[in-house]
Amino acid sequence: MKALLNSMPGATPHRFSYKTLKVATRGFTQKLGSGGFGSVYAGVLANGTRLAVKALETGGGHGGHKQFVAEVVSLGTISHVNIVRLCGYCVHGSSRLLVYEHVANGSLDQWLFDSGKRSLSWESRCKIALGTARGLAYLHEECRDPIMHLDIKPQNILLDEDFTAKVSDFGMSKLLTGKDITQVVTGVRGTPGYLAPEWLLNSIATKKCDVYSYGMVLLELISGRRNIDPGKLASSGNALDWYFPMWAVNEFKAGRLLDIVDETVRRVEILPLVETLFKVALWCIQDSPSVRPSISRVLQMLDGPCDVPEPPLDFQFYYQQQRAPSANVSVIAPVSLSIEAR
């Protein structure tokens, strides 16, 4: 690890002692959240600096250490207002800890889907959409070696006190070096609903995979609804009941665009902006990566003076269905849903 950090250009992340982080987090008792990766704890250093400490669940295996290295390498030498800042790391026995800046308002998914949170204003949603796109544009086009994030979703978009978006969680990220424009990523991981078809079907990852995931996030920002409703998925055979993107396209084609908008912010005067964001989202989630725009083009469509062209509406949706054919085997099966232009 030390040799890897020494080979990185510019300043490298600070190495914290385990004792320092244990004291800062009050013995790892101030839990902010948890997931398959491990747990995140609030911490305060002796000088008053507030931190978020992510303790990776390595299980002593190679996978957890690989995720740890991916985050340190990806975030260790980059700086952007829309990328969460990695302050340092800690290696202590089998423990792997990542230390981030404290981000006051938590993750986007809490604001969109947690009924206990106050609703996000329409203006904040637009700001988050732009900020996330700018963060991705920095990763894809401004870093010395482009970075594919490969896990863009509301849970991995943090919001500061001003609701500035900060892309986080780089455990699945990949560096593109030299002439690389694609990578074969074996063992499909990720969250159902956000994986691009080419990655799901062929294990081929490109920057356009991030664009696809970003399009799904845009739809969720507009609607306040998850792209897949797991409760309805189990009870209904009609995809329009549980797969929001497909229902939203049908509403758009029927001239009912305002019905797609989260009812807490729904008003006629925002309809032109809704149409812009929705069309951009549809461009991003095209099933063919060659049809999807680059993230810089997405920014131009969101923030530029020109109208967004009409997106193709005759494409397929793919989602990931988790099946368990036996007690010991878990399979992610891609399911295709077609929609035709009318």
Please say if 180 is a catalytic residue: no
Query: Dihedral of CA 308/253/274/83: which sign?
Result: negative
Residue 99's H or E segment, with its range, is strand 95-101
Contact 320, 166 (CB under 8 A): no
Contact 222, 260 (CB under 8 A): yes
> Which two three-digit tokens encode residue 214?
């970003």
Pairing state between β 147-148 and 174-175 = antiparallel
> Which two three-digit tokens encode residue 260?
């797609």
* Active-site residue (options: 109, 114, 151, 162): 151
Residue 253 in marked binding region? no
Query: Dihedral of CA 186/190/196/200: which sign?
Result: positive
C-beta neighbour count of 89 within 10 angstroms: 25
CA distance 110 to 130: 19
Active site residues: 151
Task: Enumerate the known binding-site residues.
Answer: 54
Task: Enumerate the known binding-site residues for ATP.
Answer: 54
